[in-house]
Structure formats: C-alpha cells, structure tokens
Amino acid sequence: MGVRNHVAVVPVSVTASALATQLAAEAGPQVRATPHQMPLDPAPYVREQVKRVLRGIGSHPNVGGTVVVALGTETIQIDTLADDIARNGTPVETMSIRNAGGTAAALRDGGEAIESLQVEAQTARRESTSIEELVVALECGGSDATSGIAANPIVGSFFDRLIEAGGAGVLSETPEFIGAEHVLAERCIDEGVSETLLSYVERREQMASLMNVDFRGAQPSPGNQEGGLTTIEEKSLGAIAKAGTKPLRAVLKYAEKLPVGGGFVVMDSPGYDVESVSGKVAGGAQVVVFTTGRGSTTGNPIAPVVKITGNPETFNHMSENMDLDASGVLSGQPINEVSDSLYSLVRAVASGELTAAERRGMEEFAINDIPPNVATEFGGQS
C-alpha cells in the first residue's frame, strides 16, 4: 500500500544527482528526486548497500513510477537496477546523460520519461485499507529532556497501539542504543535476535573508534546537554522509549527490506537523522514519525515525516515545522490522550493529509557510507 503517489527520479551516483534534482523541479510537486553523495564507483563493500537503497526507493509503495538517472560510467548498471525495481511492479525508465548527448538532451528525454510515468501513475486507485498495511519508521533528532519524558513516551504508546492493530514499525539509530542496549535485548523474541542486536551495537561503537570517535565520551552532544540531557544512558533510554513495549522480532541491515506481517523490528543505521530516515524509507516504511526537542526541519522526498515536540518553546518558535504539540504531558495531560491524537494524525497523513515538512518542501536524502578502514576491519560487511 502506498500513502503517496510520487514519480521518483533516482540518480545512481552524485554525478547524476544535479540532473535528477533539476528534472524533478521542472516536473512539479508529484515528482521527487533523491540526490545523494555516493561516487561513480563505490567500493564493493559499499556498493551492495547503495544498490539496496536505490532499489528500495525505486520500488517503494509511495512511488508510482521511477526514472533511474546515471552519468553512464557508473559501476552500478542502470539496466540491472531498473530490472530489480520493475520486478516489484513499478513502472521504470532509465536515462544516461552520456548516451543522451549531454545535459540539455538528458533534460529533454528525462522530462518525456517523467510525463509518461506521471500518466501511468495517475491510473492508481484510492482504496480503503486497514492499519495492518502500514509500516511506520521512528526517528528522533535534536533531543532534549522533554524528548525522553514527553514526546518519545507518547510515540511509544502510539507504537504499541499500531502493533496491536497489526501494523509494523522500525526503530534505527544504533549508536543511540548504547547504554540501554540491554533493555532492547530483553525484548527480543529469541536469543538469536538478541545476539544480532548486541553485535550491531558493538560494531557501531567499534566503527566509531576506528574513526577516532568516542561515542560514550562524546554523547550526549553539546546540543543535547544544553537541552538538559546529562548521560549517554539517559539519552539512549529516552530514544528507545519511542518503540513502546512490544517484542522485537528482527534486526535488519541498513536499507534491508522490511518484513511483512506486522510487528516491531530494528534497522542498523547511523545516528545521523537524514541517513537513518533514508535507510528506513528504502526498507519500505511509508510514514516517518519524528520527535524533536530542540527543533528539526528534516523531511524526506518519498515518505511524509510527522514532526512531534514535547518542548512548548520549540513548538511556539517553530510551529510551522511541527505537526503535533506534545508538551501538554509536562503539565499533566495523560500520555494516552496525546498518543490518541498522534494515532489519528498518522491515519490522516496516511490518507493524504500533508505534513509540515511536505508543505515546506523539506526533502533531505542521503545514503550511509562506510569508510575504507572500517570496512576492511569488518570484512567488507554492509
């Protein structure tokens, strides 16, 4: 089930990203580009991850047609990628800037391909369906003390209701489990899932060490500390509160396809909001629920991002970027009452209501990279 009906312009590399952005801008609001920073020839240990992301975005439920754009010298072959996208039933066209004869010709040919896909996408029918068809991604950014005591517990209450109704949800930002990973591990359905979760947390911490970053010493970030967070454990406990109380059924690689059948899963990702959201959307999440204490404007080109804050000052100062004020909890409003409002809001967004990020044109997108020394240490895993 798709909750939007976009035509996606998906560049294979950074060299095609500017053209993809221009094509989408000239084609109108239904058309969304996913420009990113990955090179023409990503190393093998990165390449498979990039392909997962591009394949997942091109065949996303919210996408009614896809144009794959390449310079023409990339290692990732556009025809192979297009075939992978088409297997999911998504109409797809390809565009090589070199084969077209340069930028001007590629804009002309790409515009024609987009027009054709727009016509095909418009044949989709609006239908009623159950919440069981919905996959929600959870995210937080710019956290403060109100995130852990208001916004995130509200999302957790919403999340439990979503899972009980048969829906599915995905939590990521693996570094933000550090110090509270044992709490999530206790919720795993079996020892295998628990071991996978803990291994991913350990791996992210080791990766950071190889890049001379001390997660435990550097967290909470200065912004988090200004917002009232004092320890990494405090930040992590607040972060995982978004995921409610239901059992954890699986732990997935970055941008891996989300399993069908409902339930709670974790996806390994960095803590960087844009890369984290992009991975979950590539996995198939149709809606993103994003909490922020200090304020964030992050959106996504393919999936609507619902922005929630538990900080009354943030809501007042950034109301045009927020979708739900959760600060009433701080003065005694019951969590369940606010989570009911969130549940209704997510249903409305899934039915077509635009989020603040969509109205403001916030469409950030990025793919998680793997530094060479890190990949070598971990045997080329992605």
What are 303-321's pLDDT values in tens digits? 999 999 999 999 999 999 9
Distance from C-alpha of 222 to C-alpha of 172, rounded to nearest angstrom? 22
Per-residue pLDDT band at 261 (split at 50, 70, 90): confident
Domains in the chain: boundaries: 6-126, 131-359
Which of 42, 45, 32, 84 has its CA nearest to residue 376? Answer: 45
Distance from C-alpha of 382 to C-alpha of 380, rounded to nearest angstrom? 7
- CA 118 vs CA 28, 287, 330: distances in Å: 10, 22, 46
Write the pLDDT tens digit of every residue in 203-247: 888 876 655 665 555 555 555 556 554 566 777 888 899 999 999
Residue 95 above 60 pLDDT? yes
**How many CA atoms within 13 Å lie on the side-chain side of 86?**
13
**pLDDT for 210:** 56
**pLDDT for 226:** 60
H/E element, 67 = strand 63-70
In this structure, CATH architecture of domain 6-126: 3-Layer(aba) Sandwich (3.40)
**pLDDT for 204:** 85
What percent of the chain is predicted at pLDDT more than 70? Answer: 90
> Helix axis angle, 103-121 relative to 17-27, nearest 10°?
50
**pLDDT for 143:** 84
- Give the CA dihedral 182, 288, 87, 16, nearest 10 degrees: -110
Are 76 and 54 a contacting pair, CB within 8 Å?
A: yes
Write the pLDDT tens digit of every residue in 118-152: 999 999 999 999 999 999 999 998 888 898 999 99
